[in-house]
A and B are shown apart, each in its own frame.
Chain A
Amino acid sequence: MHELTLSEISRLLAAGKVSSMEVTSALLARAATLGKALNAFISLDEEKSLAQAAAADARIARGDGGRLTGIPIAHKDLFCAEGWRTTCGSKMLANFVSPYDAHVISRFNEEGAVLLGKANMDEFAMGSSNENSYFGPVKNPWDVTRVPGGSSGGSAAIVAARLAPGATGTDTGGSIRQPASFTGVSGIRPTYGRVSRYGMVAFASSLDQGGALARTAEDLALMLNVMAGFDPRDSTSVERPAEDFTLQLSEPLAGLRIGLPKEYFSAALAKDVATPILAAIEEFKKLGATVVDVSLPNQHLAVPAYYVIAPAEASSNLSRYDGVRYGHRASDYSDLLDMYKKSRAEGFGAEVKRRILIGTYVLSHGYYDAYYLQAQKVRRLVADDFRAAFKTCDVIMGPVAPSVAFPLGSKTTDAVQMYLEDLYTISVNLAGLPGMSIPCGFGADALPVGLQIIGPWFDEARMLNVAHQFQQVTDWHRRAPLCGA
């Protein structure tokens, strides 16, 4: 059962060949064993999941099921789900049981999908290795001594190990694409504003965007059909008519112009990562695509700009954790100020504190113009580079990460080295663009390599079409780690 893709399960459910109870039970059994070994979930609730499965079966029997009715989906543990613990990977929220549903959760519930469990993640989505979780690191299903990437590391490991056919994630600086690349699954971060942030625990509000991880582009399209859409409760939700992301999947790629930024193929890119990516581009040429050279001259400024803007927004967003209305409160304090300081010191982990401190500094009196305002100006330069590039190409392709999945513990001592992991993904977030990672081969130590596909604003349907056509002529997305076979 677990080897089936989301689309395959959807067809079997609709045809009455399997029930959601059967699928959900089988996956819950795997979650209890393999899921536990990988530390991929933070919370499971068999009773709740099975109740949703039973309701889905009844709905399918009545003949009013949708494409995702009865499909078990894992949700990154920063999407609030009523009655579920929503921890954001933090001690701060370790006991927070959400009193309401995030917009994304409501949409999956309306569709009749099953909430299989809450996926492990880097604390407050800050990290590129999932080693910053209060609940312990997630292990990469391809090699349990390696990281799965982050911050949506649990979601990626769940899809790669065939623990669920799909999972939600969020991508503030690469947090869907990089773990998708490290675990050999497909992932999409939509255009900023596509997916409502309502009920999604905030990290950096001008960069955060919810998205999906699954095995195929077709499955991502089905998930996006449910997740995307206007929500008045998110002030930056874009008002656009609903779109069916599956409609363009089958279109041929003849005439597609692929932009290759020279900055993405410099000497910094490891050869074992470059080789499968270049081979994938050859594959696209066979499908009728042409290649154009483009340039993103301010690409090298993306990581520095991000590490001003994201911590600044985080320090502001995370000021809500005061130990008063929800979250951890220290047990021993002398006055109100002491209560704030101790509650926050005890509730947040090292990386979160580091970013709060950086953010507080760059926003503080006398430094705002030099750091924050300057970073926002550079942000526009980075976005303008993409605007210029898309005048000559339809999609941009390149690496997702500079290497394959690295060993657990190998980058935890140097924050800056960990930040540079997101070298190829961060500029997309600054510009607000949609980005994908799809499996395109294997690099060093037989570990998966992802191909990044970046599209113009709101062009997800075309990107999914490009990815789907690649997946019709290649089988990288069908390769499973031993534990997922």
Chain B
Amino acid sequence: MSLSDADVRRIAHLARLAVSDAEAEAALGQLNGILSMVDALRAVDTTGIEPMAHAVEMSQRLREDTVTEVDRRDAYQATAPLVEGGLYLVPKVIE
């Protein structure tokens, strides 16, 4: 099945990626090329096969419900684009 220009723009929106008209057009051909390669999977009979979600079969390890992290707020915020008074600044979310 192949994607349309509208599909590409919808996917880009879901992925939170701005795309120009030229980029959307280029992406359309490339994504369809990849999907046609991937289409080989659809012909495979996988009835009764358990999906393999991970490389090594293991169950989720649990740890004690205790604080293990030390407070390094300043060090972590030093890498942020915009902070003020210990808060991350973003454009207004609620009008």
Inside 8 A of A415's CB, which chain B residues have their CB? 30, 33-34
Complex Cα gap A162–B15 (Å): 42
Interfacial residues, chain A to chain B (CB-CB below 8 A)? 96-100, 191-193, 206-207, 232, 235-236, 238-239, 300-301, 303-305, 307-308, 315, 319, 322-329, 333-342, 344-345, 348, 353-354, 356-358, 360-361, 364, 370-371, 373-381, 383, 414-416, 419, 429-432, 457
| Most A C-beta atoms less than 10 A away, residue of B38, B60, B91 | B38
Tally of A-B Cβ pairs under 8 angstroms: 171
Q: Are B17 and A348 in contact (CB under 8 A)?
A: yes
Given contacts A377-B50, A383-B52, contact A339 B41 (CB under 8 A): no
Complex Cα gap A102–B75 (Å): 15
Q: Are B55 and A431 in contact (CB under 8 A)?
A: yes
Inside 8 A of B34's CB, which chain A residues have their CB? 307, 354, 358, 415-416, 419
Residue interface mask B1-34, A partner, CB < 8 A = 1: 0010001100111111111000000010011011
Inside 8 A of A375's CB, which chain B residues have their CB? 38, 41
Q: Are B12 and A357 in contact (CB under 8 A)?
A: yes
Q: Are A381 and B49 in contact (CB under 8 A)?
A: yes
Complex Cα gap A323–B91 (Å): 11
- Chain A nearest CB from B69 CB (Å) reads 10
Q: Are B40 and A304 in contact (CB under 8 A)?
A: yes
Q: Which 5 A-B pairs have the closest CB atoms?
A: A432-B55, A376-B51, A192-B55, A377-B46, A329-B81
Complex Cα gap A431–B31 (Å): 26
- Chain A nearest CB from B32 CB (Å) reads 10
Q: A304-B40, A360-B11 are in contact. List 17 more A-B contacts (CB 8 A).
A: A99-B72, A206-B53, A236-B55, A304-B39, A305-B41, A308-B41, A325-B76, A329-B82, A334-B91, A336-B91, A341-B17, A341-B18, A345-B18, A371-B38, A371-B41, A379-B52, A380-B49
Interface size on B, residues (CB 8 A): 51
Inside 8 A of A373's CB, which chain B residues have their CB? 51
- A-B pairs with beta carbons under 8 Å apart, 10 shown: A304-B41, A336-B93, A341-B16, A341-B18, A354-B27, A374-B44, A379-B51, A416-B33, A419-B34, A432-B56
Complex Cα gap A323–B79 (Å): 11
- Could you say which of A96, A99, A206, A345 contacts B54, with CB atoms under 8 Å apart? A206
Given contacts A304-B38, A340-B16, contact A96 B79 (CB under 8 A): yes
Q: Are A235 and B31 in contact (CB under 8 A)?
A: no
Q: Are B15 and A360 in contact (CB under 8 A)?
A: yes
Q: Are A97 and B79 in contact (CB under 8 A)?
A: yes
Complex Cα gap A96–B40 (Å): 40
